Structure 1
Amino acid sequence: MDKRAVAVLSTSNLIHNLNVIKSCSRGAKIIAMVKANAYGHGIRSVSLRIAPLVDALGVASVEEAMILRNGLNIKTPIILMQGVLEQYDLILASNNDLDVVLHNHAQLDWFLNLDLKQKLKVWIKVNTGLGRLGFPVSEVYKVYEAVMKSGKVLGPVRIISHFACADDPNHELNYKQIGLFQNIVDTIDAEFSLCNSAGIFNFPDYVFDYVRPGLALYGASPVLGKMASEFDLRPVMTVSTILTSIQKFKKGDYIGYGGLYVCPEDMLVGIASFGYGDGYPMNNEGRAQVLVNDKLCSVIGKVSMDMIAMDLRECPNARVGDKVILWGEGLPVEALASQTHNSPYNLLTGVQNRVKFIWQ
């Protein structure tokens, strides 16, 4: 085992999760979201494994797209989910066969006024309630007509929107968004995409033509109050380290910066080689847990840059060098997220580069 922190990533779990998503998507095509370095899992490693199995890959920038298209020679369709930041990027997209999302009038004007040697595959984004990106619902048909009349479009125009509250199936905004989007579906001849990971599981009647799994693909629950295992999702990333120290402390001894933890009795305290400098959340508040020899042990005291302390009273036979699982197999990332008032997104994308990644 590596002497410090490792993230072991499971190819079989990644493929398993993709198959679960496909089975829930009622025949919809799959846009696998690999933006943000594949949610911290490695955009190159993930994309090479799933590109032949999905209908498209979703990225946030031209730079991410070029890593896949030119760096890895991936032929699968690649979608610029945030569109382009400047007009020249449309030329790059055209020359490299990238799908482009148009979500504002500046991008639309660039597209309509630019002389492109090759046609583009175009998605139109509409704001149905998230309030982030997208044309107003009232303008979608006009934008659609302008794009269609341009003569610059390759294949069908596709229309996309994004849930704001799909992780909470009872939120009233979900049904407002579905209604607005359904009206567009009923009046425009196009292909459509609305569902992210949470939408796939909570609103399977509205998967339309394409779904866009992100968090679920990596084995974390996208739904509030539910664990990944309830959807038969398996963690792709298991982050672990080792016990570097075990000491006996007396009742009343202080542990860590600021003396925030006071030993309630004589006890064993372990130190593990992982801290906020590696991506562990600082806001512990005494609720976070780790796995030591299959036993749950509480993280105590203030998280340091390179270390965490843990209460070993539940694991009295622990030894220096024993494995400590921070999240992953046996300890879902959403559990740690809940314990630290965090989110799985932050934890997965926050793993730092001094953690060694090992794919299996």
Structure 2
Amino acid sequence: MARPLRAEIDLDALRHNYRLAASLAPGSRSMAVVKADAYGHGAVACAGALAALAPAFAVASIEEAVTLREGGIDQPILLLEGIFEAHELETVEALGLWQVIHSDWQLEALLAYEPRQPLTVWLKLDSGMHRLGFPPAAFIARWERLRQARDKTCDLHLISHFASADLDDATAFNAQHEVVEHVRQQLGAPICVANSPATLVKPQAHGAWNRPGIMLYGSNPLEGDLPAGLTLQPVMTLRSRLIAVQTLDAGQPVGYGGRWRTPRRSRIGVVAAGYGDGYDRHAMDGTPVLVDGQRCAITGRVSMDMLTVDISHVPEADVGSEVVLWGKGLAVDEVARHCDTIGYTLLTGVLPRVPRVYSRSPKSDG
């Protein structure tokens, strides 16, 4: 019998979330971000499920783009960090990729390259995050160089990234957006600046392109709740079973170091899932799980292959009972808060030994 832990990936939910993103910005084209193996969900499967909907995809590296092309994905693919070495321009051209340019060495490498046809370029503006890109004056100068290199480049776009579009306090977002708007108006440039939170609640940032990412996978990227009427569906449900049950008297330690002790006579369920699967070892006592659909709490430290939960109030729970670690019925963002992290890290942290099991309706295309 196979170990019961699995990550169930609901591709219909993925498509629902993409349609929601697109509906919020009807004047924009929505590029689906599938970097980091589609945030842990499987890039080829997810891109394939979105192929009839999404006009383009975005990844972090050449390797991720190659995986999509080898998986049969034909849409344009944007390299969000551009090339890492000049020789990668050959692959960019061969695979018909779009590239971000954020550094002078990338710009010079492109201008020294002799493409058979001009390449699509997205020039990165540092609008205030101070991570990648050119500050406004330098950006405008580089834009002009690329615009004049008609044998090298075509279809120039301005791309930038918001550091705080997710926050309730819009002060920093507004400052960045003002920088973007100033440069956009000077150049008449098509822009792509709206990430998931900006797609959801900052329509003023919607551009020629938006690039929703984490929201596609059902995680709420906002500091607060989603706006009324908007519903994201969880795409990944991490599901396992109880493999043992212990009945312990009051005051007994559970797990490594005895961090948690039974407050009363207790039934403790052992779940086949641990940090060796990507479940966060920092999960605190009280982190929620669902056992046979009922909320229970993690007790004690997460082990490499197992974790323990208090099932004293679920008398029918026993070996073989189903356990949902996050997903349908239990938001990954709630679990993340108990681990002092964010949903992104939990989803992308699910390790390869956890099987991904995909489902979709046969009538869900288009």
> Please, what TM-score do these two structures have when normalized by structure 1?
0.97
CA distance in 1, matches of 2:349, 2:199: 25
Residue 54 of structure 2 is matched in structure 1 by 54
CA distance in 2: counterparts of 1:173 and 1:286, whole angstroms: 35
For 1:99-124, what per-residue CA distance to the aligned partner results, in whole angstroms no more than 9, with x for missing partners?
A: 01110100011111122222100100
Aligned to 1:295: 294
Aligned CA distance change for structure 1 residues 88 and 355 (closer, same or farther; 3 Å): same
CA contact (8 A) 2:147 2:153 kept: no
Counterpart of 2:138 in structure 1 is 139
Name structure 2 gaps, 5 residues minimum: 360-366
Report the alpha carbon displacement of residue 39 of structure 1 after superposing the two structures with TM. Answer: 0.3
User: How much has 1:171 moved relative to structure 2?
Assistant: 3.8
Partner in structure 2 of residue 244 of structure 1: 243
Question: 1:264-298: per-residue Cα shift (whole Å, max 9, x none)?
Answer: 10011100000011111111221311001111000
Amino acid at match of 1:294: G
2:45 corresponding residue in structure 1: 45
Aligned partners of 2:240 and 2:272 also within 8 Å = yes
Aligned residue for 1:39, secondary structure, equals helix
Q: In the superposition, relative to structure 1, how do residues 167 and 284 fare at CA in structure 2: closer, same or farther (>3 Å)?
A: same
Distance in 2 (alpha carbons) for counterparts of 1:202 and 1:287: 32
CA RMSD of aligned residues (A): 1.5
Cα displacement (A) at 1:228: 9.6
Cα distance in 2 for partners of 1:176, 1:101 equals 23
- Which residue does 2:13 correspond to in 1? 13
Instruction: Render the CA deviation track for 1:44-74: whole Å, top value 9, x for unaligned.
Output: 11111112311210011111111112x1232
Q: Is the 8 A contact 2:114 2:152 kept in 1?
A: no
User: What does residue 363 of structure 2 align with?
Assistant: none
TM-superposed deviation, 1:317: 1.1
Q: Distance in 2 between matches of 1:344 and 1:102?
A: 29
- The TM-score with structure 2 as length reference comes to 0.95
Which amino acid in structure 2 is aligned with residue 102 of structure 1?
I
Residues 207 and 76 (structure 1), Cα distance of their counterparts in 2 relative to 1, 3 Å cut: same
Query: Separation in 2 of the partners of 1:96 and 1:212?
Result: 21
1:341, CA displacement in angstroms? 0.6
Q: Which residues in structure 2 correspond to 1:118-157 (within 5 Å)?
A: 118-153=117-152, 155-157=154-156
Supply the distance in 2 between the matched residues of 1:273 and 1:228 (Cα, whole angstroms): 36
Cα separation, 1, equivalents of 2:88 and 2:3: 44
Q: How does 1:142-221 map to 2 (within 5 A)?
A: 142-153=141-152, 155-221=154-220
CA distance in 2, matches of 1:19, 1:122: 26
Alignment of 1:338-357 (within 5 A): 338-357=337-356
Q: Where does 1:90-101 land on structure 2 (aligned, <5 Å)?
A: 90-101=89-100
User: How far apart are the structure 2 equivalents of 1:153 and 1:16?
Assistant: 38
Instruction: Give the percent of matched residue pairs that are identical in Structure 1 and Structure 2.
Output: 34
Q: Does structure 2 retain, via aligned residues, the 8 Å contact 1:337–1:344?
A: yes
How far did 1:2 drift? 5.0
Number of equivalenced pairs: 359
Q: Are the aligned partners of 1:31 and 1:212 in contact in 2 as well (CA < 8 Å)?
A: yes
- Give the deviation of 1:230 after TM superposition: 6.5
Q: Secondary structure at the match of 2:275?
A: coil
**Map of 2:64 onto structure 1:** 64
Greater CA drift, 250-259 or 112-121:
112-121
- CA–CA separation in structure 2 for the residues paired with 1:161 and 1:227: 24
1:258 equivalent to 2:279? Answer: no
Cα separation, partners in 2 of 1:190 and 1:214, compared to 1, 3 Å? same
Asked if the contact 1:22–1:30 (Cα under 8 Å) also holds between the matched residues in 2, the reply is yes
Shift of 1:231: 2.9
Contact 1:61–1:83 (8 Å) recurs in 2: yes
Q: Do the aligned residues in 1 keep the contact of 2:243 with 2:271 (CA within 8 Å)?
A: yes
Indicate the residue corresponding to 2:280 in structure 1: 281
Give the corresponding residue for 1:226: 225
Question: Which residue in 1 is equivalent to 2:364?
Answer: none
Distance in 1, Cα, partners of 2:227 & 2:324: 17
Distance 1:229 1:47, change over 3 A: farther
> One-letter code of the match for 2:204?
D
